[in-house]
Structure 1
């Protein structure tokens, strides 16, 4: 199986952007990035990359999918769960796979997730709407005919860059307090965004080895004390971990401009039963990490899911903090956070 032409959906976003840049840098691939607007600032930045072409198209129309897949060898498919209803995410992901097969693609790489909700007995306390769908769709992909269109699932975890936004410490005097509604032993899989680029590139360079597999993007399963220790070691600053209640965490988020009662996804009628609030989905998200164990993370990321041959990935919290110059400071609101404040 030889891959030369790759269409990357979500290329102007946080996760797929590093994949576009990494593929472009190799000089081995012709990369196409579908986008709703080829004139946006993010799209224009990608247009300056070598071996990269923008295409005005969307994954929420059949015409957009057919145009995106035409003449391609493989794809990276990701849907922003904050921008689309759950039912529509199921439909358009399955439709994308069907049209990709009709278009003759050799490999369908899906930005997925482990089905933690299933593993947790479908307990409603853990139903975080903004990525639960991906776990169910991964189970669906397992049952597709690999002779028609092989798949690979690339999964990571919580973006490590959130250490400068939703997971940013609070400064109290000279001490940085990493506060979260979890326990000292709770484990969160933190994934540097550039690791998606490195691992995604490895997949397209090794499609035969990657097909049919769930591949860890290079998450770093971490406890909060580990985060604190890495921060102290790399910055020389004082820091500590503090456990909070969820109500206290949401109150702190509100003070930073996030409305916990904001309805999602964006642009959906507020009486739509498929909507959810920031509090509902992130409350379940925190329940997952509070009760998550290192044993579970090692289980789902070991064996066939691990790929030690990937070059260029960041392997530790300390390495990421040193390379990014992380100082525990809060960044300007991202698009998601601006939208949270506006709703």
Structure 2
């Protein structure tokens, strides 16, 4: 029996990385090495519950850390946190060496506000370093390049999705070069927003409990979101590694889901009333982020850099993208027949997903799905909100 292939993972403690580590280890075909800032963190300990996980202490903004993570690995899965770095910096960390002005954020007690301290460093791209260190198959974690898919309409330019989408196209373009492919082949895994965000706190549309029922506020008009279920993510990424599917951009989703459908399904599963409020976009941005709406969308992005995008501008475009993607006929589309062939047991509807979440909650002793959305029980889905959206890169 051949030895498991070592896969190096950047972003392994994030929402998407956890199921990737889980399913790669469960297969027995892969061993895993994860770059992390803290091997004693709760998230890294969660990974260790799936099996042996080698930890490399460092940051994706460090050439030494990236080299140590990639060295000796057969494969790599890289999903950089765009809300850490911001659009501009993520692009360079993904592909090129450049002196970048970035900053760290610290809270000043006397002034009662966050102070930005600039840092200067040279960074060499993860993709290029993976080639240098001998990685043979590379998977880039991506999101839809909505700006391009819209026909480059400025209203659709959303920094945290377009940075990943641009780099996905760049990486796949390099993959068409025979000399590059002879050293390392590449694929892309594209997701939509996580379905779990509809049941968590500190998201663009957390659930609320009002008048004995569940309420979601989301300015979507007649649009829809191709939500991705985190439980399916590991299966799709494992497929890419198993088949060494170079050149493939595997675009995952449950379905194009409306919040009206979410509310109706929640009523079926829980027996509780539920509704969706199609609120005003600008009012929703203010209500969700408050004063932070005008802060940088990437918490380590330089606020003085003209290229830095604000939370408001970022999520205005983000909602515009989904408002124009209804019915799988708009800007962002999915090939659901392909997903059915790749993962026949995939989650295919919001009702199916809610029933699975309800069963998981009951088995774990958390109570029903209705109990789970009570304000005191809401948990973080995204690592950046769990970490407090601040700190060093």
TM-score > 0.5, shorter chain as reference: yes
- How many Å apart are 1:191 and its aligned residue? 1.0
- How many Å apart are 1:32 and its aligned residue? 0.4
Q: Which residue of 1 aligns with 2:70?
A: 69
Mapping of 1:125-140 within 5 angstroms? 125-140=155-170
Give me the whole-angstrom Cα distance separating, in 1, the residues matched to 2:332 and 2:282: 31
Give me the whole-angstrom Cα distance separating, in 1, the residues matched to 2:196 and 2:276: 18
CA contact under 8 A between 1:3 and 1:74: conserved in structure 2? Answer: no
State the secondary structure of the residue aligned to 1:60.
coil
CA RMSD of aligned residues (A): 2.6
| 1:279-307 Cα distance to aligned partner (Å, 9 max, x none) | 11111111111121323369842289646
- How many Å apart are 1:196 and its aligned residue? 1.0
CA contact under 8 A between 1:128 and 1:282: conserved in structure 2? Answer: yes
Give me the whole-angstrom Cα distance separating, in 2, the residues matched to 1:320 and 1:190: 11
CA contact under 8 A between 1:195 and 1:312: conserved in structure 2? Answer: no
Q: Which residue of 2 aligns with 1:169?
A: 207
CA contact under 8 A between 1:154 and 1:215: conserved in structure 2? Answer: yes
State the secondary structure of the residue aligned to 2:85.
coil
Q: Which residue of 2 aligns with 1:88?
A: 89
Mapping of 1:312-327 within 5 angstroms? 313-325=346-358, 326-327=369-370
Give me the whole-angstrom Cα distance separating, in 2, the residues matched to 1:251 and 1:298: 26
Taking a change above 3 Å as real, the CA distance of residues 281 and 312 of structure 1, as seen in their structure-2 partners, is same
1:198 equivalenced with 2:235 (yes/no)? yes
Mapping of 1:219-258 within 5 angstroms? 219-254=254-289
Taking a change above 3 Å as real, the CA distance of residues 335 and 49 of structure 1, as seen in their structure-2 partners, is closer
State the secondary structure of the residue aligned to 2:342.
coil
1:151 equivalenced with 2:199 (yes/no)? no
Q: Which residue of 1 aligns with 2:101?
A: none
Gaps of 5+ in 2: 96-124, 359-368
Give me the whole-angstrom Cα distance separating, in 2, the residues matched to 1:313 and 1:329: 28
Give me the whole-angstrom Cα distance separating, in 2, the residues matched to 1:341 and 1:93: 21
- How many Å apart are 1:271 and its aligned residue? 1.6
CA contact under 8 A between 1:7 and 1:74: conserved in structure 2? Answer: yes
Give me the whole-angstrom Cα distance separating, in 2, the residues matched to 1:82 and 1:235: 34
Q: Which residue of 2 aligns with 1:336?
A: 384
Taking a change above 3 Å as real, the CA distance of residues 298 and 254 of structure 1, as seen in their structure-2 partners, is closer
State the secondary structure of the residue aligned to 2:231.
helix
1:41 equivalenced with 2:42 (yes/no)? yes
Taking a change above 3 Å as real, the CA distance of residues 337 and 246 of structure 1, as seen in their structure-2 partners, is farther
Among 270, 273, 291, the alignment partner of 2:324 is: 291
Q: Which residue of 2 aligns with 1:12?
A: 13
Give me the whole-angstrom Cα distance separating, in 2, the residues matched to 1:283 and 1:39: 37
Give me the whole-angstrom Cα distance separating, in 1, the residues matched to 2:210 and 2:57: 47
Give me the whole-angstrom Cα distance separating, in 2, the residues matched to 1:303 and 1:230: 20
Q: Which residue of 1 aligns with 2:310?
A: 277
TM-score (norm 1): 0.88
- How many Å apart are 1:340 and its aligned residue? 5.8
Give me the whole-angstrom Cα distance separating, in 1, the residues matched to 2:257 and 2:336: 19
| 1:190-241 Cα distance to aligned partner (Å, 9 max, x none) | 111121112112222222xx22101123432112221122111111111222
CA contact under 8 A between 1:156 and 1:219: conserved in structure 2? Answer: no
CA contact under 8 A between 1:199 and 1:218: conserved in structure 2? Answer: no
* Equivalent pairs, count: 336
Taking a change above 3 Å as real, the CA distance of residues 329 and 302 of structure 1, as seen in their structure-2 partners, is same
Q: Which residue of 1 aligns with 2:361?
A: none
| 1:143-182 Cα distance to aligned partner (Å, 9 max, x none) | 1123332111111101111112332333331332322111
Give me the whole-angstrom Cα distance separating, in 1, the residues matched to 2:158 and 2:333: 19
Gaps of 5+ in 1: none
Give me the whole-angstrom Cα distance separating, in 2, the residues matched to 1:87 and 1:247: 25
1:112 equivalenced with 2:150 (yes/no)? no
